[in-house]
Amino acid sequence: MTLSNFKTYTLSMRGNQIEISHPWIMGILNVTPDSFFAGSRASTDADIETRVTQLIAEGADIIDIGACSTRPGAEIVPEHEEIARLRQAVAIVRRLLPDTYISIDTCSALVAQVAIEEMGADIINDVSGGTIDLAMPATVARLGVPAVVMHMRGVPATMQQFTQYDNVVKDVVEELRQHLDTWRQAGATQLISDPGFGFSKTITQNYELMAHLDAFHALDVPLLVGISRKSMIYKSLGCSPDEALNGTTVLNTVALLAGAHILRVHDVKAAVEARKLVSLLNSKPTQQS
């Protein structure tokens, strides 16, 4: 796929240089009892095996494992509990699919360290952008792994109190730029940006960000978009998260057209199909006989 606003980046994982030469699909595995979308939750070994097998069979490039819910109003779970949940899930993924790249969705530097050093995970996905645990940037720098730096204000329990912006697009880009600078000053070099749809934003602000998604390319790092089944979709459509797949696919398509490098999704098959169809818009024409 060659979109006019899609820039190729390279990440180093397990000693390999991996090009993001086309959009990646990141499949969500939640080992929490309270994530907002029930379809992504798995707690027993059998449930985790079923979910992981499905994600890879449908074409996921990465599996993003979360053991602490970050839905609006969620409380942070103790680190020892988060680690225990992750050990169970990562062990199953490694046993079933040893070559699969694993991302860990956490705001804790200790959890990140254990997940990379002891469990063999590959990427850290910090929804706080390093603002909840200030040790996170230096920890990731020492670990030498890629990290997703997301925009959020406050913590999940309070984030919706902080939705005041002068200009939401410019402000979020600038705040993300500042976060990325903090990570770089700590020595982290493999960074991915995430505008943080649904985090410290109103529904209207989420759509303003989506309409100007190309502004985030100015950060000169890969762009991750995570809008799967979120309230900006199901509240706007007057439905439930269970009924929000069609709306998710529409916005994932918008994100692809805007040059997103990674889509974080609950429904891998639909995202892979959207990627394939968008790629056809840029395919070279064939000669007609």
The secondary structure of residue 213, as a DSSP letter, is G
**Which member of 41, 85, 153, 264 is catalytic?**
264
Residues 6+ apart with CB under 8 A from 246: none
**Which CATH fold topology does 9-280 show?**
TIM Barrel (3.20.20)
Q: How far is Cα 221 from Cα 188, in angstroms, rounded to an integer?
A: 13
The pair of structure tokens assigned to 263 is 């889509």
What local confidence, expressed as pLDDT, does residue 36 receive?
Answer: 47
Please report, for the chain, how many H helices and E strands are present, in that order: 9, 10
Say whether 12 sits in a helix, a strand or coil.
Answer: strand
pLDDT score of 61 = 97
Identify whether the C-beta of residue 213 lies closer than 8 Å to the C-beta of residue 260: yes
- What is the end-to-end Cα distance of the chain in Å, rounded? 25
What whole-number distance in Å separates Cα of residue 85 and Cα of residue 68? 9
In the annotation, is 230 catalytic?
yes
The Cα 262–Cα 29 span in angstroms is 16
* Collapsed DSSP state (helix, strand, coil) of residue 125: strand
pLDDT number for residue 189:
95
Distance CA 256, CA 264 (A): 12
Catalytic residue among 41, 85, 201, 230: 230
Low-confidence ranges of the chain (pLDDT < 70): 1-4, 33-42, 70-75, 283-289
* pLDDT for residue 171: 97
Burial 217-241 (b: 16+ CB within 10 A, else e): bebebbbbbbbbbbbbbbeeeeeeb
130 CB contacts (<8 Å, ≥6 apart)? Answer: 136, 137, 149, 179, 182, 183
66 φ, ψ (degrees, to nearest 5): -120, 135
pTM above 0.75, yes or no: yes
- Which has the closest alpha carbon to 223: 32, 14, 42, 23? 23
E strand or H helix at 224: strand 224-225
DSSP 250: H
Active site residue 170: no
Sequence-distant (≥ 6) Cβ neighbours of residue 55 within 8 angstroms: 27, 29, 63, 268
Place of tokens 């000169």: 220
